Amino acid sequence: MFSVKLKEIRKEHGLTQIDLAKKLGVASGTVGNWESGKREPDYERISQIADLFNVSVDWLLGSTSREIQRIPVYGKVAAGIPIEAIENIEDYEEIDVSRMPKGQYIALMIRGNSMEPRMRDGDVVIVRLQDDCETGDTAVMLVNGGDATCKRIKKTPEGIFLISTNPAYDPMFFSNEQIADLPVRTLGKVVELRAKF
């Protein structure tokens, strides 16, 4: 069952076996052996894979079934100039909560082009609500108490950078004092992108 789940989640994330092997720091043929069922990784490696794809170990091992939940798509998330995060519910998305870490999820719509080419205007991001993120995470940040923007995070001892993937946009830096005074806070971590065509 692990072999089937691994192949399914890898393809959903658009990764080749070689891509996944590089991310996990294993030989390129190892992922192929896992997916063919010839070998199975140890628990520590399975846990690493679960973390990489934001799914539970139980789901990867096939001991939980799919549990679909409808979550609201709120307003727009600015991927250019920050705007109000929460407006009326515009739509609903379905997520398989059995594959995700426990928590509360919402969906938010991208507006603007600062996160291109990965995230485009109109795309929807699935966000796990949490009050902190780590360097390298893509997060939805609330600036000035209510304006939301989707950016990559880089923490420093002096403050935090909110970084666009579009090189036309300069990083935004907020000092520790600004983080407290404005305030700047984390709404949640982006765990999935749903591109709209």
SS3 call for 137: coil
Average of per-residue pLDDT values in the chain: 85
* CATH, residue 19: 1.10.260.40
* Model confidence pLDDT, tens digit, residues 47-73: 899 888 878 787 788 766 567 788 888
Q: What is the pLDDT at residue 87?
A: 52
Residue 153 confidence class, pLDDT cut points 50, 70, 90: very high
**Which residue type, as a one-letter code, is found at position 174?**
F
- 92 shares its domain with 171: yes
Higher pLDDT, 87 or 194: 194
Strand partners of residue 110: 77
**Which residue type, as a one-letter code, is found at position 138?**
T
What total number of domains does the chain contain? 2
pLDDT over 90 (residue 84): no
SS3 call for 50: helix
Of 10, 40, 60, the domain-final residue: 60
Note down the domain range covering 29.
Answer: 2-60
* CATH, residue 131: 2.10.109.10
Higher pLDDT, 110 or 66: 110
Of 60, 82, 103, the domain-final residue: 60
| Residues with active-site annotation | 114, 151
- 166 shares its domain with 114: yes
Q: Which letter does DSSP use for residue 174 in this model?
A: E
Q: Helices marked H in 13-132 — which ranges?
A: 17-24, 28-36, 43-53, 57-60
- 74 shares its domain with 52: no
Of 60, 81, 110, the domain-final residue: 60
pLDDT over 60 (residue 110): yes
